[in-house]
Structure formats: C-alpha cells, structure tokens
Structure 1
Amino acid sequence: MLDIISHHLSLIFGKTQKSLQRGGFFQNCSRHQFSTTKHGYSPFLLERYFDKYEFKAKYLLCSSDTQAYTMNEILKMGDKETLSLWNNLELSYTQAQGLPLLRNEIAKFYNGTSNTKTAPINENDILILAPEEGVLIGLNTISRHFSNQKQEAIVVSPSYQSLQECYQSTPNTSIKHWNVELNGNTNQWELNFQTLENQLLTNHTKLVIVNFPHNPTGYYPTLSQWYDLIKFCQMNDLYLFSDEMYWNLWDGQDTLPSASMLYDKAVTLSGLSKSYGCPGLRIGWLITRDSQLMNAFRTMKDYTTICNSAPSEILALIALRNVPTILSQRKSIIATNTQAWKQFCQKHSTVFQFIPNKGGSTCLTKLKGKAKQLGAFNFAELVVNECQVMLLPSNLFFYGNDFVRIGLGRTNFKDALHTLDQFLCKWK
C-alpha cells in the first residue's frame, strides 16, 4: 500500500505534474496509454484537470455535485437530538465503522424507500467512509479476493476513472467495457443489455461495475432492465459493485431499488456529495449483506482513514434526517438548469447538440461545427481561458473528443450561460 501511494505521489508531483501544467498531458489520451501498471495507479485525468482550473475559473459549468449547503443551513435543519450532539461534540476519534446513529439513519432511509420484499438493511451492513475511499476499498478488496487467478470485470463506460483504476490495481485483472451509446435516431443514450451475456461474459468474469444514474450521460436503465441485471449477476455468481452516488435524482416517477437491497453479493456505494449537496463533508458509505466482505472492507479501512471526522458525521446525520427537503431543492435546481441548457443549445445549435439526460446531475453534450473541428479538449481550453467558464472534455473519460460534460446542479448556472453566450456570439 505504501509503495502504491509513494508512486502515485511521485507521478503527481514529478515529471507528470510538469506535463499537466503544460496542458498537453490531457490531449490524445487513451485507455491503453493510461492503463494501470504494475507500479501502481495512473494519473487521475479528470481530477488533475479540475486541479488545474477548479479554483481559477469563475464558473464551473461541468461540476457533478449539486449546489453545496453552508454549515449554517444544515444546522438550521437540526432537531433537538442532533443539535445537542453538535453543541457537545468532542473532537476525538470516532468509531471505525461509523457513528451508530448515522448508520441506523442510513439503514432506515434505504428500508423506507424500498418496495422490495427482501430482508431489511441493518446498521452492521454499513461502513461509513469517504466516497472515493469507498471505491478504493470496495473494488480493491473484491479484486484481491481473486488475486491468484485471471479475472475480468465488466464496467459501464464511460466512467469515473477510479471505477476502473482501483480494480485494475490488482495483478491478473482486466476490464471489459459495457458502453453507453448514443442512438442517432432517437437522440437518447442507450445500454445494450444483450451484449452482457453474448459478448462480454467469459469464464474469467468475476464482477460487474455500474453507475446509475450514469455520470456523465445521466442514463439509467428501466426497472425491468435493472432486475435483469441483478438476475444476470445471480445466475453467473458475480459480484455487483453499484456506484449510487447520484441515486434518487430520477426523472419523473421511475425509481430503482438499491442493488444491496436485491442481491447478497451486491455492494452499494453512495454518499452525500452529489444528490444531497454536502460534498465537503466527505461522508459516504458502503453497504453489503455479505458479512465476510464487510469484514474485509473494515480491515482495509484500518489502513486508510481508520475513522471518520466527528463533525462531519453529525452534520451528515442532520442532512439524512432532512432528505425530502434536500432532494426537493436539488431536483428543482436541476430541472430549471436542464431546461435552460436545452434552450441554450437551441440558440447555439451550430455549436451544441442537446442530448437529454434521464437522471443525475450531469449531461453529455455533443459538439458541432467549429467546436467539433477543434475537438472537445481544445474547445474547453479555449472557453475557460477566454471567458472563465469551465467545461469538461470527454477525452478525460476516454470517450472520444466530441463531447463536453455539463453540470446541472449549481445555482449560478444561468450566470455561467450568460458569460458563455457572450463569448460564443463573438467567436462564431
């Protein structure tokens, strides 16, 4: 573990960092070029790009998190019990698995929102940790379980890079990409479920990794497709790692039950960063009914953060007790911004092709005309340098160079569009 961390830091702060600063590092990147090596983790392209511009650009028109609450706003939601806990909080170490009250609140949340007839989730099925830590611990633990044999994972792509990288950090692992694709006739994102068994499944497949609602497209499957995926994993005795960070940001009434409610070998990753407007708390969780797997997660956490931030756990508890209010506000912001972006794309139809998202807080927009000729990376660089509006090029997801990700969850969205509009009117 220390060797991996040491190498990763040397990549970031050594020669690679100089290349990052020049900007050329990001261009023409491919999955092959940045596949995990025996020495550890590859540079995280998206995070390095954010590091370059996130605190310099005036408008982040590509962020996947929703508008962050202030601490005072969260505290105003507190009840008598949580405010007492906050006011009398000692800044000491916390329980390694997470505050029992918080784990109990998470269990109640999942059990209360599920229409399934499965046994309820209990607090011992839950491990509190930082969201990114959950990816590392979850995927690394599963891959190490099969480390003495060749193994493959099927991953919904494009994806957040760590969903592939953390799995491939173990020897004898490889990835097969289950691609979300744009239907040119319907202008909708689609995922072909028939390819799972017909093309992707082999004798070496051990794991399926999904992310719904999908970042960056906003796609998610129908309820029947979701159950088909669960059945596919059950029939083939596969682990299912379900990244549910954008859970509950559904379009309309169509909702999906959490994977961990449906399947004993499923692992749910979720947290407060995306759907609930509290990314700065760094509070997330892993859920699984597999007690041996949960024990392995807890063991690995002893070598990472050990325990969570005491203030963050109390603020997270307050947020979870106010989920209906928080979700209503997040969905309202996203709905307003989605409509504004659709109208913006119609106005600038020579530059952008609007592709609707079904859920989540992001959408992927196709470039046209001069912007497409420039390529997503060069166009995004031009925009951020000329008008201080940050877009996210699709090559950072290893998804060609024709799309940009748009974040729909910020309250200054229309101000960002106004600034971008002024630039495009001059540029076109």
Structure 2
Amino acid sequence: MNLEVQEDGRNKSHTYGTIWAGEAELFAFRNFGYPDNELEIGMISPEAMQVHFGDIISAFTKKIPDLNLTVGDPAEWPEFSTWRESPTMSLTLGFNEEDIWFTFDWINGQPPTVTFSIPFAQAVPESEVRQRSERILLRHGMKLLSMEEYDEYKFHTWSIQAACIKDQRLSDAKDCAQLLTIAAHSIVWPDELSRAETLRLIRLGQVETLLGWLTENEWFDAKESVVLDARGTVEFAKDLAQFANGSAGGLLLIGAKTSKDEGGVETLSKLCPLDKNPKSPQPVARLAQSLRDIATSHIYPLPEGLQIEVVDTSKGQVICAHIPKQAKNVKPFIVTGEAVFGKIKNTFFSIPVRTHDGNVPVSSREIYALLAGRMIRLQDRDAGKEG
C-alpha cells in the first residue's frame, strides 16, 4: 500500500497533517512539541487496518525528515537545546476500539514495540497469563518484553509490551489483543495450535515462532533432511501415507530438528535450512520436485490436495508437505515398494498409519480388514448407482 503524507500546518507547539492511501484518508496526526517528538495519530479508517507499521514509518521519514528540527522554540524551551542538537524521531500509534487498546511505538534506530492493555480476571495466576501471552505473541510475530499489573478505574489490567519480530499490520495487533484478552480471562484455555494455523504460520515463513513448544503429534512431524536412496525414498512415501491414512491429515516439515524431553515428548527445537545443509542431496526447489515425484510413484491413490512446497524463513529454506484430511471412501493409501539390499522392490507394499508421534505398519490381518471394508463400500456405491 503506497502511503502519502500531507502536511496540513505547523506552529510553535505542533505539526498536523493527514496520511493518505490513494484517495482514502487513513489517519490524521498531530505532533506536540515534546523532546521525543511523539506523534499522536487518530481517525483510523477501515482501510487502515491493512497498513503495515513499517510503511507508516517510511512515509513520515521521507516526507518530513526535519520534523524533529522544526517543532519547539529553544528561546521558550531552553531545556530542548541539547535534544535539538541530537534529535531522535519517534512515532506512537494508538488504537482503541470495543475495549481493545494497544499502541505501536518506534524510536529511530530501534525495533518497533507494541504495548497492549489487557483487562484480566484475578482468578488466572500471573505465571499462567505470562505463559499464555508468550505463546500468543510468538504466533503473531512478537516477543514478550515485559508484563506489569496496574489498576485503572477499578479494573485490573495487564500492560504487556512486546518487540516486533516481523512487520505488523493494525489487523495483526488487533487479532493478537483479542486473543490476549481471552487468555487473561479463561480458567481453562485451549492453547494448542490447530493444524490450519500451524500451516499458515509455516507458509508465512514464521517457523521460528513455533520453536520450543510445537510438539510432534498425530498431524505434525519434522525431519532434518531426506536421503534419496532406496530406503529414504520408501520412508518418505510412508511418512506421507501415514498422515493420509490418519484421522486428521498432517504436516511434514523438512529442514527442522526436534528435541525429546524427560517425558519422551518431541518438541520442535531448531531450524536446519536445506539450502545451507551440505548433506542436502539437491537444490531445494529440485528436491521439492523429486519429493512430489516420489509421492506420485509410490503412493496409491495419491492423497487428494497433497502439496509439497518450498518455504523461505529468516534462516533459510525448508520444505513443507501438507496432506489434507482424506475421505474415508478413498482409504487405505498404499505405499508400493520396499528397500531390499539397496534397491526398491515394487512387489512389496505397506499401509502405514500415524500414531500420536510416529507411524506403525499395519498387520496382514488389518490390511485384509481395510481392503475388505473398502470393497464393501465400493459395492454399496455401485449398487446405489444401479438402483
């Protein structure tokens, strides 16, 4: 979004103007004559919710680069003289709507921060609110800096300050504020990410926000790399088919490590970008295509909606394989081939099924039950067509 700053006027105490995006007025602002050059911004329009805070900073610094030199009068405020010799520009953007309140703050040369004012219920312990807040902020590309309690008009409030890891939009911060409010009030809070939200974060390149707390489960697994020999080829096909045969579909992240805690739980702990891994067999884009070819050649039927894509992160490139939840009438998904003495023998087949944090082969008796069940479903379908 291309922003334009229109300066409407100045006097000794403040500068005032408007920010435009094309013909849409987004903000009106005024700058008081304070040493930190704080800008008060209001009149937020619906279009402004999609504006990135970085664009606002850029628009101001390009349009009014001398803003910090033109407000205030040293004759009237001599204490400002030192500041005027070493000016520091800062911006403050406040948002207040339907009991949601937060501010963006930026000081030249420092990362932007966001401060949320969140009402809370005292029944939720501070340690629990802090833990919940850290996770919510990480999901939205922010890192918790501080959390302080204060009372305002007989309401208990948390002031939660966070540093921006990525450029924020007003809508991002509003969504985050809503979740923080829910977390601060809920005695029982479902803090686990859904598969859809995890996929969204991965596709946005925000894999680092998942480190330290996303655990391997029935729909998520991580691998440091893939070896394209006979064994590695078949194992990768099994990794995909296990999710397709499961109840929820799944995500396979290639280019990341997990760590096991004392209880045996595997948690995503480190990124191992494939483009910086000397053991990676091919350039990342070509590797992704090779993995698609493996899925096509060794899984029957091919899972509906399967996507294998390259994802750019701040550390480098990883690959994400997404297997949507599959309909019952197309299961089971069979992996053809097995590695025997370094070669793939296509006379073998298997039906892997995902457990909580791993896959297990289906026994011959279970295979018969699965295939018999599918035959019965097909017969019922055909009988319905004939009727």
TM bracket (short chain): under 0.3
More strand by share: 2
More helix by share: 1
Structure of greater Rg: 2
- Which structure has the higher relative contact order (CA within 8 Å, separation 6+)? 1
TM-score normalised to the size of structure 2?
A: 0.26
